Amino acid sequence: MFPDKLKLLVLLIVIIRIAYAISFSSLSQAPLDEHKQENLWRRRAIAKLWEERRRMGRTPIFKLT
């Protein structure tokens, strides 16, 4: 069969090809703090809306908290 060095070379090429194929097919990872930033943005946006409604005076929307 193949000499040992040739087997190792073929194995190395196969491993590199698999790693290369996997790197393009997988989805990118989201940052770990993205969920916290999204919640912070949402809370600030809601607070701004309520401040705007307070400045408008009477509004038919009720705050449920």
| pLDDT tens digits, one per residue of 14-56 | 998 888 777 665 566 656 667 777 888 889 999 998 898 888 8
Q: What is the pLDDT of residues 8-24, one digit of tens each?
A: 999 999 998 888 777 66
Compute the distance between CA of residue 65 and CA of residue 2 in angstroms, rounded to an integer: 74
The tokens for 38 are 């999204």
More reliable by pLDDT, 15 or 65: 15
Inside any domain, residue 63 = no
Burial of 2 (0-12, 13-18, 19+ CB in 10 A): exposed
Domain containing 8: what range? 2-56
Domain tally, the chain? 1
Q: What is the pLDDT of residue 9?
A: 92
Whether residue 50 lies inside any domain: the answer is yes
Whether 61 contacts 50, CB under 8 Å: no
* Residue 24 placed within a domain: yes
pLDDT of residue 24: 63
Are 36 and 28 in contact by the 8 Å Cβ rule? The answer is: no
User: Which residue, chain included where needed, has tokens 């038919």?
Assistant: 60
